[in-house]
Chains A and B, each alone.
Chain A
Amino acid sequence: MNLKNTLLANAVALGMATAATAQTEISWWHGMGGSLGDTVNQIASDFNASQSDYKITPVFKGTYEETLTAGIAAFRAGEQPNIMQVFDAGAATVIGAKGAVVPVQDLFAANDVPFNIEDYIAGVRYFYADEDGKMIGMPFNSSTPILYYNTEALEKAGVTAPKTWEEFESVTAPALKDAGYIALAQSHMPWIFTENFFSRHNIPFATNNNGYGGTDVTINADAPELKAHFEAFKSWIDNGYAGFFGAAWDDNAKPFESGEVAMWLGSSGSFGGLVQKADFDFSATVLPYWEGVTKEPKQTFIGGAALFAMAGKSDAENKATAEFFRFMTSPEVQYMWHKETGYVPITEAAYEMAKADGHYDRFPAAETGIQQLQLPAGEWTKGYRMGFYVQIRDVMNREYTRYLTGETSLDDAFGAIKSEADKLLARFAKTQS
């Protein structure tokens, strides 16, 4: 009897061991720290618990830039992860390198996972797609810049959140200043005040179809509308309507969280963090626009990052990656991610689920980002694709800061951005030939 039991136990253990070895293991490198990282780990462990064939292991690799660099170094050494998270500015680098990734649409087709790009929210669909509209990277943490405001501050000043920058300049900001607030701060000049400025006003950001058409691109970074916007921003800073705390995200967010600044341009993905940090009532609205530039403001496109299936992996592992993407894009997981973090759900189905569940009745501000992404589209609203874009953003931040702190003139700053960015784009084109 005893022996029989032991044998049985051994058999069971053996059976479990073979089941464990039959499991396909895949890795996922990401740049989500803090509470976002906790939610990422939650998604991974939920996936692992939902089935027994695959096991995914998420690994935190630092900032977005560090994650991309680590992934590239690993790829060159043949040690790349199955899934790599790449942020918006790095998209051209990873998509440009033909053969570095398996397009998500091909991955799905090869593994019989149904895919219809129309299932995705409008502003999400084409940012990580190629020129023909084939989705290459799976949008993951998708966000868009929106205007958060301190409800109490606006009530005290007797104003509502501005719809246009003209309204901000003539009504909102002076009233808030009188009420003792700095009216505005923003956390990311290249993303909020540049890339999405072009989209919101439907102005081309770069030649060759905003860069989607190929690497032969020049940038429109010295557009007169944009220069006028920064000239206005500087005047707001100079007369106390706006605060400028450098290029670092948090340095600009903190004064809003502490109640010193009344309105803050941040990411729709900042919502979850703000709920925890701000001890005042706040809400959010869509990004203001210049009525003098356009009467028909358009949608913005997504920022954040996408998940790329790295090339050079076995079919079995690619199958596991496809299954994980299927799991991750399911309405339940998307809604959980949206609810926990504030990033927008990437599919219509998840959005419907959040609405049906009453999420937006409880937190109206959580819907702002997704509403903004569904505003009317224009010719220049799907995004941009430019190589060495991380460096181009650094050049923008450098010159904008110099201009805003009075180190350089408006024309010199924008001239430098235009010429240095074009030089970088030409250099990138050479790396691709």
Chain B
Amino acid sequence: MKRAGFANYWLPILLLLPQLTIIAVFFYWPAFNAVQSSFYLQDPFGFGSQFVGFENYSDLFASKEYAKVARFTLLFTLLVTATSLATALLLAVKADKVLRGARTYKTLLMWVYAVAPPVAGLMGVMLFDQNIGSVTDLFAWFGYDYRLGVNYWDTAFAMIIVSVWIQIPVNFIFFLSGLQSIPQHVREAAMIDNPSGFGRFWQITFPLLAPTAFFLLIINITYALFDTFGIIDTLVKNNPASNPMTLVYKVFVDGFRGNDMGGSSAQSVVLMVLVLALTIFQFRLLERRIHYT
């Protein structure tokens, strides 16, 4: 067998160079900078800075507020991930069975994907607004005084609903294509063995969807942790106050709003470590239990 290869070492390096440069400039260099500035307290304009060792980190871990934000981030990620995956799966299973007008259903369920997070956030602001929001009116009709921006859990509710809403279409598309890739003969065999639709779903369909579900789980956790920034920013309306926020939004609030470069760098290093741990955990532990066919 003929071994394909390059005649010398320079050509492959040359061909890889653009990609390596991009990674170095846009990933490693900023990451290195963040680690470095997390050990300093810096004048916002960059005139003075003082080496403070691990003080930024110790301040962070001693802060009750940071702990509260971390707890909320965990809860938010769990709820957004679980709700959007479950809803999308249900919709996909139902849409899979539709024969007439399937294309219309699917399009109607998918278009939301095209809405940008800040736009979704703005729609949330309108729907949940204290003075003019229609969801607020609905709550009032049930006798509940819904207060976006005043009540912590009311604001959290709006953030979760909007974040889930915008994420369902992505999950829906993947689940649907996963369902449609399950071979017909497997379904037919299952139909003979088990007449219960519910049992068939959990014993046959769901395990066969596991690779898709696992992939989506990672995508959704990442989404809830990072990509919901635009939604949170618009719902908070430039007033962090007592509103719930995620760790990523806190980095922005302290660094870009408060101009505390050192403190917010320390926070972003914590996030880097978190993401690293999450990635290792997911691939080492969870992937073993999934059977790819």
Is B49 in contact with chain A by the CB < 8 A criterion? yes
Question: Given A99-B47, A248-B237, A398-B240, 17 other A-B contacts at CB below 8 A?
Answer: A68-B259, A75-B46, A93-B44, A94-B45, A246-B130, A247-B239, A251-B129, A251-B131, A254-B131, A255-B131, A391-B254, A398-B242, A401-B150, A405-B152, A430-B52, A431-B49, A433-B50
A431 touches B41 (CB 8 A): yes
A258 touches B131 (CB 8 A): yes
B 139-152 binary contact with A (CB < 8 Å = 1; else 0): 00000000111111
User: Could you tell me which A residues sit within 8 Å of B by CB distance?
Assistant: 63, 65, 68-69, 72, 75-76, 93-94, 96-100, 244-248, 251, 254-255, 258, 388, 390-391, 394, 397-399, 401-402, 405, 407, 420, 423-424, 427, 430-433
Task: Pick the contact of B45: A63, A97, A255, A420 (CB < 8 A).
Answer: A97
Alpha-carbon separation in the docked complex, A97 to B42 (Å): 11
Task: Note all chain A residues with C-beta closer than 8 A to B240.
Answer: 394, 397-398
Task: Note all chain B residues with C-beta closer than 8 A to A255.
Answer: 131
B242 touches A431 (CB 8 A): no
Is B8 in contact with chain A by the CB < 8 A criterion? no
Alpha-carbon separation in the docked complex, A431 to B263 (Å): 11
Counting chain B CB atoms within 10 Å of each CB, which of A96, A394, A407, A423 scores highest?
A394
B260 touches A75 (CB 8 A): no
Chain B residue nearest to A75 in the complex (CB): B45
A-B contact pairs, 12 of them (CB 8 A): A65-B257, A69-B256, A69-B257, A96-B43, A246-B149, A246-B241, A251-B149, A388-B259, A390-B259, A401-B150, A407-B152, A431-B48
B149 touches A63 (CB 8 A): no
Task: Note all chain B residues with C-beta closer than 8 A to A424.
Answer: 260
Chain A residue nearest to B63 in the complex (CB): A420
B242 touches A397 (CB 8 A): yes
Alpha-carbon separation in the docked complex, A69 to B44 (Å): 9
Shortest Cβ gap from A57 to chain B (Å): 23
Alpha-carbon separation in the docked complex, A394 to B262 (Å): 18
A397 touches B241 (CB 8 A): yes
Alpha-carbon separation in the docked complex, A405 to B241 (Å): 12
Is B253 in contact with chain A by the CB < 8 A criterion? yes
B239 touches A93 (CB 8 A): no
A-B pairs with the 4 shortest C-beta distances? A246-B149, A247-B241, A97-B45, A391-B258
B 154-197 binary contact with A (CB < 8 Å = 1; else 0): 00000000000000000000000000000000000000000000
The residues in B between 9 and 31 inclusive whose CB is less than 8 angstroms from any CB of A are: none
Task: Note all chain B residues with C-beta closer than 8 A to A246.
Answer: 130, 147-150, 239, 241
Is B238 in contact with chain A by the CB < 8 A criterion? yes
Chain A residue nearest to B252 in the complex (CB): A69
Task: Note all chain A residues with C-beta closer than 8 A to B59.
Answer: 423, 427
Shortest Cβ gap from A415 to chain B (Å): 12
The residues in B between 204 and 247 inclusive whose CB is less than 8 angstroms from any CB of A are: 237-242
A394 touches B241 (CB 8 A): yes
Chain A residue nearest to B253 in the complex (CB): A394
Shortest Cβ gap from A260 to chain B (Å): 9
Task: Note all chain A residues with C-beta closer than 8 A to B242.
Answer: 247, 397-399, 401-402, 405, 407
Shortest Cβ gap from B92 to chain A (Å): 38
Task: Note all chain B residues with C-beta closer than 8 A to A244.
Answer: 150
Shortest Cβ gap from B124 to chain A (Å): 14
A388 touches B258 (CB 8 A): yes
Task: Note all chain A residues with C-beta closer than 8 A to B52.
Answer: 430
Chain A residue nearest to B52 in the complex (CB): A430
Contacts A72-B44, A72-B45, A427-B260; A247 near B149 (Cβ below 8 A): yes
Task: Note all chain A residues with C-beta closer than 8 A to B260.
Answer: 388, 391, 424, 427
Task: Pick the contact of B259: A69, A248, A407, A420 (CB < 8 A).
Answer: A69
A245 touches B241 (CB 8 A): no
Task: Note all chain A residues with C-beta closer than 8 A to B47.
Answer: 97-100
Shortest Cβ gap from B81 to chain A (Å): 27
Task: Note all chain A residues with C-beta closer than 8 A to B263.
Answer: 427
Chain A residue nearest to B238 in the complex (CB): A63
Alpha-carbon separation in the docked complex, A248 to B155 (Å): 13
Task: Note all chain B residues with C-beta closer than 8 A to A423.
Answer: 59
Task: Note all chain B residues with C-beta closer than 8 A to A69.
Answer: 256-257, 259
